[in-house]
A and B are shown apart, each in its own frame.
Chain A
Amino acid sequence: MSPVYSRFRHRREVPSDKADRLPPGQYLAAGFPVLSAGPTPRTPLSQWTFSIEQGGKTLKSWSWDEIQALPAETVTKDIHCVTRWSKFDTEWRGVSIDTLLGAVEYDAEYAMGFSDGGYTTNLPIEDLTDGKAWLAYSYDGEPLDPEHGGPARLLVPHLYFWKSAKWVRGLRLMDTDEPGFWETYGYHMYGDPWLEQRYSGD
């Protein structure tokens, strides 16, 4: 039983028509908070690539211009950060991960997203496919700001937002699941906000 704090009152009411979109333990953020473990990397687009790798080999690599030339989608999604803020109706533009993985022959169950600055995060491939994930390079109609992960980040909105790796440079395909950066420090291997999978063991 949680001790009751009788003087504690709700401050943030969620409109009733939106309440069922807010996962447990989350609140609606006013702005777009920034969280990252180090300085914001800034890779020139001329040197930027996105690669799919497996077993130490690069299966396919795209330049910035090649990514821009792929079919793009605009999607509007609710996002949920493990630090408890959520933001509704965020608009992104980018390339479906289905399109990228469809360009290679692979046999794998998991992927490690890897980023400039050394950040990594692990995901089951079934959470990256079937229209559930994107390589996003635009937010709210503008090029994605570096502080929010630009030039391009993963967008996997059905999982806590640390899975949507900022400054992503590729996917390393894996047969078995391995922890990425925050997962190594005790954050959950999967990170479903609706199950409140914040930390290992949740």
Chain B
Amino acid sequence: MAGTAVQRRLTWTVATVTSDVRETPSVRTLQLGVPGWTGHRAGQHLDIRLTAEDGYSAERSYSIATAADESVAITVERLDDGEVSPYLTDDLRVGEQLEVRGPIGGYFVWEKADGGPVLLVAGGSGVVPLRAILRERARTGSDAPVRLLYSARSLPDVIYRAELDGYAGLDGVEVSYALTRHRPPGWTGYARRVDAALLAEVAWPASENPLAFVCGPNSFVELAAQGLVGLGYPPGRVKTERFGGT
């Protein structure tokens, strides 16, 4: 696969927003109709381009939120100082158009043949490509054991909660939430940040040769990836995707 993943030219295509889901007050999923989309793999991303009336345009990359044979969707979190995200979370309407090109990337990708056990570690909206991986597992009928550890500020900030709780009922999938700021009364899940100690409780033992995917803000990813290496995960088995600065 490597070397042949994306050697064709990636052209811009006009896509239409076909439906949307308000995931949380600041997060929205946009389902996109992309004519001629050649398919993607779980974990890949795409570029979107918005063009203003005076010709000015802005491009950004977003993880694809869906499995390989599903139509394209992105899940976007509003960054208050962002140039593009507020338009996607709060302004763009169903039926309107934007430009898309992709899929892009091929390292932060899981396919059935990769097997398991799989550890997914999400910080905030870093859950988006990991949800694509969970969907890919379900779509392909994979029996790879998967654990998702998802850090969010509070339960209402958890993206895809109903869907993730549904996976947690399936054979071979375990979902743990770590709520860092607010917990509902009677909360029995984790109530602290993801660090080496929490990973030691939740992560597959390194002896089972797990494959880890870690996605979130840089400081979160840095701590989690380092924690996994500390637990004996070979660095090459810890794939990371980061956003934001230090």
Contact A29 B245 (CB under 8 A): yes
Query: In the complex, which residue of chain B has the Cβ closest to the Cβ of A26?
Result: B59
- Write 15 A-B pairs (CB below 8 A) sorted by A numbering: A3-B97, A5-B50, A5-B92, A7-B91, A8-B50, A10-B56, A29-B245, A33-B242, A39-B228, A40-B222, A41-B235, A184-B106, A186-B7, A186-B104, A201-B7
Given that A10-B56, A39-B235, A41-B235 are known contacts, is A3 also in contact with B83, CB under 8 Å in the complex?
no
Within 8 A of A (CB), among B1-15: 2-3, 5-10, 12, 14
Q: Report the bound CA distance from A9 to B56 in whole Å.
A: 9
Q: Report the bound CA distance from A138 to B99 in whole Å.
A: 40
Q: How far is the CB of B120 from chain A (nearest CB, A)?
A: 16
Q: Report the bound CA distance from A183 to B58 in whole Å.
A: 24
Instruction: Write out the residue numbers on chain A whose beta carbons fall within 8 Å of the beta carbon of B240.
Output: 36-39
Contact A200 B9 (CB under 8 A): yes
Interface residues on B, range: 35 or more
Instruction: Write out the residue numbers on chain A whose beta carbons fall within 8 Å of the beta carbon of B2.
Output: 184-185
Instruction: Write out the residue numbers on chain A whose beta carbons fall within 8 Å of the beta carbon of B61.
Output: 83-84
Given that A36-B240, A38-B238, A186-B104 are known contacts, is A3 also in contact with B222, CB under 8 Å in the complex?
no
**B98 CB-CB contact with A under 8 Å:** yes
Within 8 A of A (CB), among B119-177: none
Contact A185 B242 (CB under 8 A): no
Contact B235 A5 (CB under 8 A): no
Q: Report the bound CA distance from A181 to B51 in whole Å.
A: 32
Binding site for A on B (CB under 8 A): 2-3, 5-10, 12, 14, 49-53, 56-61, 81-83, 87, 91-92, 96-99, 104-108, 218, 222, 225-226, 228-229, 235-236, 238-246
Q: How far is the CB of A147 from chain B (nearest CB, A)?
A: 6
Contact B246 A201 (CB under 8 A): no
Instruction: Write out the residue numbers on chain B whose beta carbons fall within 8 Å of the beta carbon of A3.
Output: 14, 51, 97-99
Q: How far is the CB of B129 from chain A (nearest CB, A)?
A: 13
Q: Report the bound CA distance from A148 to B218 in whole Å.
A: 11
Given that A32-B246, A201-B9 are known contacts, is A39 also in contact with B238, CB under 8 Å in the complex?
yes
**A71 CB-CB contact with B under 8 Å:** no
Instruction: Write out the residue numbers on chain A whose beta carbons fall within 8 Å of the beta carbon of B98.
Output: 3, 5
